[in-house]
Amino acid sequence: MAKKAMLEREKKRQQLVEKYATKRAALKEIANDEERPMEERFKARLKLAKLPRNSSATRLHNRCQVSGRPKAYYRKLKMSRIALRDLASEGKIPGMVKSSW
């Protein structure tokens, strides 16, 4: 199980990303528009830099919904390999059986 502080930090980052998403997208659009004057684009970049770092989507890290584990994460199932195996062994995931040969 992951530390509570790490889980809470990730939740806080997720909230910041959602809060600043529209503002960040608008500033990026201005900054990347080659038809606008250079000064206006530069000002947009400065405003973008003043936004909180954790409001960037690249700062998010995928974590297991069951255990909070940050590594060995299956995107489709939103859980780690260990949690997946435990649930499959208990028969809680329909159609999944442990492999043996």
SS3 of 13-52: HHHHHHHHHHHHHHHHHHHHCCCCCHHHHHHHHHHHHHCC
* Residues listed for the chain: 101
Where does the pLDDT of residue 100 fall: very low under 50, low under 70, confident under 90, or very high at 90 and above?
confident
| Whether 64 contacts 80, CB under 8 Å | yes
Q: Is the pLDDT of residue 93 over 80?
A: yes
Q: Which amino acid is at 1?
A: M
- Tens digits of residue pLDDT in 23-57: 999 999 999 999 999 999 999 999 999 999 999 99
Residue intervals in the chain for CATH 1.10.287.1480 = 1-61
Backbone angles phi, psi at 35, to 5 degrees: -80, -15
Mean pLDDT for all residues in the chain: 92
Where does the pLDDT of residue 3 fall: very low under 50, low under 70, confident under 90, or very high at 90 and above?
confident
Percent of the chain whose pLDDT exceeds 90: 82
Name which CATH class applies to 1-61.
mainly alpha
Task: Show the beta-strand stretches assigned E in 1-101.
Answer: 73-74, 79-80
Q: Which amino acid is at 20?
A: Y
Q: Which residue did the predictor score with more confidence, 93 or 46?
A: 46
